[in-house]
Structure 1
Amino acid sequence: MTMPTLPQREGDRPDTGPAVPHVQFTQNSPKAVREQLKQWMSTELPRTVTGPSEISDPGAFAVFLDGHAPAKGAVLLPPRLTAEFAHVHVDGSLHLALSHEDQKELLARGWGEPHPLYSAEINVVMLYAPRTVEELDLARTVLEASYRYATGHDRVAV
């Protein structure tokens, strides 16, 4: 496991779509929280680039490896499976690639759910939209775990 033990998520599970596009209908991020998350994604993950998602709905903001291969064994997001490892939707929810251990932690603590098309080849889980600044910190922690999974490195050690 690459991320610390997460606290249990408070409140009810948000309503999400059962099919593609897999989005969150309730408990969305305030715009300011979503913008802070996008800014952090743009500046705090070395050797990455950001831009429109290659797989998600229009308006989804993604982070990609910048010209280097993913860590050995890492399965990233479709369609290439080698570049995009996370994206945030306009509702504030995220899809990301994580190690199986980190996925189990995320799901067990109530912070997310598998993508409807999840499989060994489609390694995508949803992180529910951060509702507060405190939950924004947790989203950053999960994104750091996704970055470590994708690159094999801590974000400060690259």
Structure 2
Amino acid sequence: MTFPTLPEREGTRPETGPELPHLQLSQTSPPQIREELRQWMATALTGITTGHSEVSAPSTWAVFLGQNNPAPDALLFPPRWDAEFVHLHADGSLHLALNPADHAQFLTSGWGEKHPLYDRGINVVMLYAPRDRAELAVAKQVITASYRYATGHAPDTTTAAA
């Protein structure tokens, strides 16, 4: 496992779309939580660039790993795009890759679901939109695990906004 045991997500599973783009339709993030998450990723994840996603809706904000030489199966839809490893949708949900050893815990704890292309060999899951600061903390743990899996090292959270 690359992250600590996740708590069970409270409440019912949000409604999500069954096709591409795979979006969350209910229980979305409040704007301030979504922006706090975006700012945290921009500062905590070292060696990244950000911009519009190359694989999702135009409103989707993405993190690219470029010089971090990421593991190929830790990218969103490799190898077609330039090291896009996580993206944040306007609804607050994210798509990312996790170490396969973490999939079962992530899915059974209720924090997300498989991407529609997951069963076709694409290592991508949806992390549900954090609804409050407690869920934001869990989202940061999951994103940190994804970053560690992609790069082989943990982000520098000592210089990032909490």
For Structure 1 versus Structure 2, the TM-score category normalised by the shorter chain is over 0.9
Residue 16 of structure 1 corresponds to: 16
Using the TM superposition, give the Cα deviation of residue 81 of structure 1 relative to its aligned residue in structure 2, in angstroms.
5.9
Aligned partners of 1:76 and 1:66: how far apart in 2? 11
Residue 105 of structure 1 corresponds to: 105
Provide the aligned length of Structure 1 versus Structure 2. 156
Using the TM superposition, give the Cα deviation of residue 70 of structure 1 relative to its aligned residue in structure 2, in angstroms.
1.0
- Which stretches of structure 1, 4 residues or more, deviate above 4 A after TM superposition? none
Instruction: Supply the AA of the counterpart residue of 1:67.
Output: Q
TM-score by length of 1: 0.92
Residue 114 of structure 1 corresponds to: 114
Using the TM superposition, give the Cα deviation of residue 126 of structure 1 relative to its aligned residue in structure 2, in angstroms.
0.2
Higher share in helix:
2
Aligned partners of 2:102 and 2:82: how far apart in 1? 19
TM-score by length of 2: 0.90
The answer to whether the 8 Å contact 1:75/1:121 transfers is: no
Residue 94 of structure 2 corresponds to: 94
Aligned partners of 1:156 and 1:32: how far apart in 2? 23
Structure 1 runs not aligned, ≥5 long:
none
Aligned partners of 1:83 and 1:132: how far apart in 2? 29
Using the TM superposition, give the Cα deviation of residue 39 of structure 1 relative to its aligned residue in structure 2, in angstroms.
0.5
The answer to whether the 8 Å contact 1:76/1:150 transfers is: yes
Residue 46 of structure 2 corresponds to: 46
Using the TM superposition, give the Cα deviation of residue 154 of structure 1 relative to its aligned residue in structure 2, in angstroms.
1.2
Aligned partners of 1:120 and 1:150: how far apart in 2? 20
Aligned partners of 1:65 and 1:51: how far apart in 2? 12
Identity %, equivalent residues:
58
